Structure 1
Amino acid sequence: MHTRRSILKGTATALIAASSMPIISTLAAAKAPFAEVQAPAFYRMKVGSIEVTALSDGTIPIPLASLYSNTTDEHAQSALAAAFQGTDSETSVNAFLINAGERLVLIDAGTGSYLGPKLGKLIRNIEASGYQASDIDDVILTHIHTDHSGGLSADGERLFANAIVRVNKRDIDFWLDPAKREGATGPLKNQFVEAQQSLTPYLDAGRLETFDDDAAPVAGIGSILRSGHTPGHSSLVIESEGEKMVFWGDITHGDVLQFDEPGVAIEFDVDQQKAVEARRAAFAEAASDRYWVAGAHIAFPGIGHLRTDDTNYDWVPVNYSAG
């Protein structure tokens, strides 16, 4: 019969025997070096007859708990910890490519070089997915924050040379207003500078156009004004063969706290109360109509459905398909 004593005695005997054997170095070189990179990050699916490709610009660790408002740091940290996320939550920056057969349309343009080396991977992932930046006919921005528009240009040159950039007029009027830029302080001041740097090459080339509230930026793609995060923040909509997908933009940041507590805002909101109202409306509609949702800052690929549960709402990620 094995007892704890006999097991320990046997272990000690084995260790003594092992100590008399020749020592083999544990410092020998590994057979293969660590790769330390992820595979190209794109995910493709169909919405009716429309091909949608989710594209990662990368991820960035963000102290979400300290950036949320209408809550406490302690409560937010507890909610994130319950979802196995630490003080810095690894946050996705997603863009989406729409191919309806006649035009290739990019929704949001990533960060470019503005936010560090873990981001700025959009163009290489466009190429990995089988397209080129020069193939894109239109870039529609959900809004003009650096993580959505910073990848439009580099060193004053357009990175999407054949594309027209389209954005809600309210956002252009806000972010390109010299008086607002001069009056801005802190991080907001930098956002005005970066917006001008990213958009000016398209403006100078006559390749920037605005769309009105709830209007179609291009044929076949609608918009829904969800003002608050920025003045012209807009979700974008495609429908085909009875299926629908709404590209949320920044309705949420992360995929944990705000689904249970839609009243929680974030520091990046230009108007936090309006952003909360927009989130509540977007959640209610998505859960009721059961359409596909694509989020800019939901864990890649950022696509899924919303359903109600006993604590408000629940995010259901797309079930992976290799088809």
Structure 2
Amino acid sequence: MPSRRSILKGAVSGLIAAPFIAPSIAFAKAPYAAVQAPGFYRLKIGSAEVTALSDGTVALPLAKLYTNTSEQHAQSALEEAFLPEIVPTSVNAFLVNTGERLVLIDAGTGAYLGPSLGKLLANIEASGYKTDDIDDVILTHIHTDHSGGLMRNGKRTFTNATLRVSEREAKFWLSAENAKAAVGIVKQHFGEADQCVTPYVKAGKFETFADNAAPVPGLGSILYAGHTPGHSAITLESEGQKIVFWGDITHGDILQFDEPGIAIEFDIDQKAAIAARDIAFRQAVEGKYLVAGAHIAFPGIGHVRKDSTNYDWLPVNYA
């Protein structure tokens, strides 16, 4: 029986004897793919299905935007968490299927804030749903990164959905008097709110909900005013399990957990926003329920616990 050595020796001698033929195809190195997988993550809360949806990320100089601290301190804390000076900051939305209705919580940025965002609709479809399937859209608040996706090419994106917003929030942002008095970026936000929300009002597809009231059957709300006047978290409870969709209780998942007294320039009432964050953190720790943040690294779902410095963010375990 021929040995492995003799077989290899014979193969090599055969190659040497054979004439050399140059390959006809030149193989280049593979190009960079440069894209992520579709941005959705799914889990069950009791009998309800929750799908986290990425609208993309926006590069923000967070250390410059935080207030009640120094830029140097904020940057040092971010660096210790291995974050760059310009932080890719997630913009998340969440889809809830209760079995009776399909509800979108927040609507992304649409075309307003650049090409790194505006991915929500593609990710809704990648997750197995279509915009026409959605029965309700609930906004935690009307800032453009939560309401910009309500419109597409001058038409309502969610043609079959009723838009539901806190009564306080609607009263503030849809007021012509408030819009006239606003200045700077806030004035721009008033204009964008009108462009995105008013078409639903005119179409008769707009409803408001009272403080801490249920926006739709099966979901509740918690008024956490401060970031905006009607900023509200949305709650889901099913079969003994609970998740609270926080909206903008935090921006990022590092600094404001260790130092809840740090606000951000986007807060309309920074003192009230800090107070709301303190309550939201304490309630999340005491209740031991899941929370979902609009600007926590995607999928933005996890728990809050106390630690030696203050609070700690624990991302949901992948399953």
Do they fold alike, i.e. is TM over 0.5? yes
Structure 2 distance, partners of 1:240, 1:47, is 6
User: SS of the counterpart of 1:61?
Assistant: strand
Contact 1:251–1:279 (CA under 8 A) maintained in structure 2 = yes
Provide the C-alpha distance between the structure 1 equivalents of 2:255 and 2:50, rounded to a whole number of angstroms. 27
Counterpart in the other structure of 1:42: 40
Q: What is the aligned-residue identity percentage?
A: 67
Give 2:226's aligned residue.
228
Alignment of 1:284-295 (within 5 A): 284-295=282-293
Aligned equivalent of 2:138: 140
- SS of 1:150's equivalent in the other structure is helix
- Match of 2:32, as an amino acid? F
Between the aligned partners of 1:164 and 1:176, the Cα distance in structure 2 is: 17
Cα shift readout 1:242-281 (whole Å, capped 9, x = no counterpart): 1000000000000000000000000000100000000000
Query: Counterpart in 2 of 1:203?
Result: 201
Equivalent residue in structure 1 for 2:279, among 281, 305, 309:
281
Match among 54, 58, 63 for residue 56 of structure 2 = 58
Matched, 1:86 2:84: yes
Helix, strand or coil at the partner of 2:104: strand
> Within the alignment, does 1:320 sit opposite 2:314 as a pair?
no
- Give the 5 Å matches for 1:242-321: 242-321=240-319
Instruction: Give the Å deviation of 1:29.
Output: 6.9
CA deviation after TM superposition for structure 1 residue 221, in Å: 0.2
Deviations 1:14-50, CA, capped at 9 Å, x for gaps: xxxxxxxxxxxxxx87332111111101000001111
Count of aligned pairs between the two proteins: 294
1:157 matched to 2:155: yes
101, 108, 114: which one aligns with 1:116: 114
State the partner residue of 1:176. Answer: 174
Q: TM-score under structure 2 normalisation?
A: 0.91
Structure 1 consecutive aligned stretches of length 4 or more whose deviation exceeds 4 Å: none
1:166 to 164, 167, 184: 164
SS of the residue corresponding to residue 74 of structure 2 reads helix
Contact 1:156 1:201 in 2 (8 A): no
Secondary structure at the residue paired with 1:162?
coil
TM-score by length of 1: 0.90
Q: Secondary structure at the match of 2:257?
A: helix
CA–CA distance in structure 1, aligned partners of residues 314 and 238 of structure 2: 22
- Helix, strand or coil at the partner of 1:43: strand
* Structure 1: runs of 5 or more not aligned: 1-27
Match of 1:189 in 2: 187
1:131-186: per-residue Cα shift (whole Å, max 9, x none)? Answer: 00000000000000000000001233100000000000111111111111111111
Q: Which runs of 5+ in 2 are unaligned?
A: 1-25
For the aligned residue pairs, the C-alpha RMSD in angstroms reads 0.9
* Residue identity in the other structure for 2:136: D
CA contact (8 A) 1:154 1:198 kept: no
What CA distance in whole angstroms lies between the structure 1 residues aligned with 2:286 and 2:223?
19
Letter in 1 for 2:87: S
